[in-house]
Amino acid sequence: MSLFPLNQGAGPSGFGYRSTAEAVTLGLDLSGKTYLVTGCSTGLGRETLRVLTLRGACVIALARTIENARKVCAQVAGDTVPLACELSDPGSINRVIDQIRSRDYRLDGIIANAGIMALPKLQQKFDLELQFLTNHVGHFMLVTGLIDQLTDHGRVVMLSSVAHKRTYHDGIQFNNLSGKKMYVPWHAYGQSKLCNLLFARHLSTRLPGSGQTANAVHPGVIATRLTRHMNPLLRVSARVVSPLCLKNVAQGAATQCYVATHPAVAGMTGRYFVDSNEAIPSRFGQDDALASILWARTEDIVSQFD
């Protein structure tokens, strides 16, 4: 129960802040459908895996290691395919793309859920700041590498965040993707989440199938292991206040499950959702020119991994 009454009502979709992933998928028969979910080992990804399989779907469950993927799949009763994918490692991403393509899985949805947040000190790989690399570039590679596997009505759902509004003052620091010139942990996270949003927005204009869609979501604020890099005192405080004013994991996984599966969302594309309802992103989050520049720059980065 949230103490904030404004957070309690349902929006035009009939769902709202308090709706759970089970509630937004109630009555849906997803048997015969296949979804790929990244970051299944814990948090919102694990709940998404649980609920999609509960509704009859097969879930290709990605975790950083095959052991973690198998472990989480063993915890659900439904149909799962555990695979390893380390999103900061292009080799690992290419391997999982090959595995999925060679087995010719047809994907009704890709939920790009994995993420890291607010690393206190600058961390880099391939001369890129690690949140930009993991949250954005890794998912860019994975999703674009699997576009041919999407069904005619396949849906791509990118986990963005309200934190996309809290980025650097110029939105995306194209001249500082390594983070060397300046590094502010929350701004770097916000930048990566803005990238997730703009990726969905631009992808929606490039999908080959007219029924295919790409959208971004903010799941709410939920005390998951995403806070692992935060100050321990803040982490404890978040857990203490969590039952009073944050979403629980079941509620946090709702928006991505809704956008990935609900019939009411069919054909909606290039949008941003919060609490299972359409919402308005920041000024940068609506900037199609910025989205094009980001796409071109990311293609360039990815081409250098080859």
Ligand X SMILES: NC(=O)c1ccc[n+]([C@@H]2O[C@H](COP(=O)([O-])OP(=O)(O)OC[C@H]3O[C@@H](n4cnc5c(N)ncnc54)[C@H](OP(=O)(O)O)[C@@H]3O)[C@@H](O)[C@H]2O)c1
How far does Cα 213 stand from its chain's mean position?
15
Does residue 275 interact with ligand X by CB under 6 A? no
Task: Please select the residue that binds ligand X; options are 42, 99, 178, 242, rule is CB under 6 A.
Answer: 42
Task: Name residues contacting ligand X, limited to 8-37 (CB under 6 A).
Answer: none
Q: Which residue is nearest to ligand X (CB)?
A: 43
Does residue 281 interact with ligand X by CB under 6 A? no
Both structure tokens of 283: 């000024």
Least distance from C-beta 87 to ligand X, angstroms?
A: 3
Does residue 215 interact with ligand X by CB under 6 A? no
Q: Dihedral (C-alpha) 6, 11, 15, 20: value to the nearest 10 degrees?
A: -30
Does residue 45 interact with ligand X by CB under 6 A? yes
Q: Considering only 49-57, 100-108, 221-229, 263-271, which stretch makes contact with ligand X by CB under 6 A?
A: 221-229
Task: Please select the residue that binds ligand X; options are 49, 69, 76, 116, rule is CB under 6 A.
Answer: 116
Q: Which is nearer to ligand X, 243 or 267 (CB)?
A: 243
Whether the CB-CB separation of 48 and 55 falls below 8 Å is answered with no
Give the per-residue contact string, 229-258, with ligand X (x = CB under 6 A; - = no).
-----------------------x------
Least distance from C-beta 132 to ligand X, angstroms?
A: 12
Whether the CB-CB separation of 194 and 84 falls below 8 Å is answered with no
DSSP 8-state class, residue 149: G
Backbone φ/ψ region at 280: left (φ over 0), alpha (ψ -120 to 50), beta: beta
What is the DSSP track for 242-294? HHHHSB-HHHHTHHHHHHHH-GGGTT--S-EEETTEEE---TGGG-HHHHHHH
Least distance from C-beta 123 to ligand X, angstroms?
A: 11
Does residue 111 interact with ligand X by CB under 6 A? no
Phi, psi of 44 (to 5 degrees): -70, -30
Does residue 90 interact with ligand X by CB under 6 A? no
DSSP 8-state class, residue 86: -
Candidate list 17, 35, 183, 189, residue with the active-site label: 183
CA gap 291, 168 in Å, rounded: 16
Both structure tokens of 123: 């961390």
272: annotated active-site residue: no
Task: Name residues contacting ligand X, limited to 60-79 (CB under 6 A).
Answer: 63-64, 68
Does residue 59 interact with ligand X by CB under 6 A? no
Q: Which is nearer to ligand X, 106 or 228 (CB)?
A: 228
CA gap 55, 22 in Å, rounded: 9
Residue with tokens 């799962």: 80
Instruction: For Cα atoms 202, 135, 71, give the angle at the middle one, nearest 5 degrees.
Output: 125
CA gap 284, 50 in Å, rounded: 34
Q: Which is nearer to ligand X, 43 or 171 (CB)?
A: 43
Task: Please select the residue that binds ligand X; options are 21, 36, 37, 44, rule is CB under 6 A.
Answer: 44
For the chain, how many residues are written? 306
Both structure tokens of 49: 């895996």
Does residue 151 interact with ligand X by CB under 6 A? no
Does residue 141 interact with ligand X by CB under 6 A? no
Does residue 285 interact with ligand X by CB under 6 A? no
Write out the catalytic residue numbers: 183
Residues that bind ligand X (CB under 6 A): 39, 41-45, 63-64, 68, 85-88, 113-117, 134, 159, 161, 218-219, 221-222, 224-226, 252
